[in-house]
Amino acid sequence: MDDGVALAIDFGGTKVEAALVDRAGTLLPGSRHRAATGASSTSAQVEEAVATAVRGALSAGGERRILGAGIGAAGPLSPTPGAVSPLNLPAWRDYPLRELVAGLLPAAGDVPVVLRMDGEAIALAEHWIGAGRDAACLLGMVVSTGIGGGLVIGGRTVPGPSGNAGHVGHVAVGDPALAGVRCACGGTGCVEAVASGPRTVAWAREQGWTGATGEELGVGYTAGDPIAVAAVRRSAHAVGGALASATALLDLDVIAIGGGFASVAPDYLELVREAFAGREFPFVRKVRIVRSGLSGEGPLIGAGALIHRAELLG
Q: Could you give the domains of the chain? A: 5-120 (3.30.420.40), 133-293 (3.30.420.40)
**Between 30 and 87, residue with greater pLDDT:** 30
pLDDT of residue 162: 92
pLDDT of residue 276: 86
The upper half-sphere exposure of residue 255, i.e. CA atoms within 13 Å in the direction of its Cβ, equals: 32
Look up the pTM and report it.
0.91
The yes-or-no verdict on residue 252 having pLDDT over 60 is yes
Biggest CA–CA distance in the chain, Å, is: 60
Q: How far apart are the first and last CA of the chain?
A: 26
CA atoms of 17 and 303, how far apart (whole Å)? 11
The full DSSP string for 69-118 is EEEEE-SPBPSSTT-B--TT-TT-SSB-HHHHHHHHSTTTTSS-EEEEEH
pLDDT in tens, 111-135: 999 999 999 999 999 999 999 998 9
Nearest to 184 by CA among 173, 170, 165, 168: 170
**Between 175 and 113, residue with greater pLDDT:** 113
The yes-or-no verdict on residue 108 having pLDDT over 80 is no
Q: Buried b vs exposed e over 148-187: b needs ≥16 C-beta within 10 Å?
A: bbbbbbeeebbbeeebbbbbbbbbbbebeebeebebeeee
Q: Are 155 and 182 in contact (CB under 8 A)?
A: no
Angle at 39 between CA 36 and CA 40, to 5 degrees: 90
The yes-or-no verdict on residue 163 having pLDDT over 80 is yes
The yes-or-no verdict on residue 1 having pLDDT over 60 is no
Region 191-201: what's the mean pLDDT? 95
With bands split at pLDDT 50, 70 and 90, how would you rate the model's confidence at 109? Answer: low
How many percent of the chain have pLDDT more than 90? 81
pLDDT of residue 280: 84
Query: Average pLDDT over the chain, rounded to whole?
Result: 93
With bands split at pLDDT 50, 70 and 90, how would you rate the model's confidence at 63? Answer: confident
Q: Of 73-77, 250-254, 275-279, where does mean pLDDT reach its minimum?
A: 275-279
- Is the bond into 282 cis (omega within 30 degrees of 0)? no
Nearest to 151 by CA among 126, 185, 129, 115: 126
Phi then psi for 290, rounded to 5 degrees?
Answer: -130, 160
Enclosing H/E stretch for 153 = strand 147-153
Region 133-162: what's the mean pLDDT? 93
pLDDT of residue 145: 87
With bands split at pLDDT 50, 70 and 90, how would you rate the model's confidence at 296? Answer: confident
Enclosing H/E stretch for 282 = helix 282-285
With bands split at pLDDT 50, 70 and 90, how would you rate the model's confidence at 152? Answer: very high
Rg (CA), the chain: 19
pLDDT of residue 265: 97
The yes-or-no verdict on residue 154 having pLDDT over 90 is yes
pLDDT of residue 211: 95
CA atoms of 124 and 126, how far apart (whole Å)? 6
Q: Are 238 and 232 in contact (CB under 8 A)?
A: no
Describe the strand order of the beta sheet including 156-157 as a list of residue ranges.
156-157, 147-153, 137-143, 254-258, 288-291
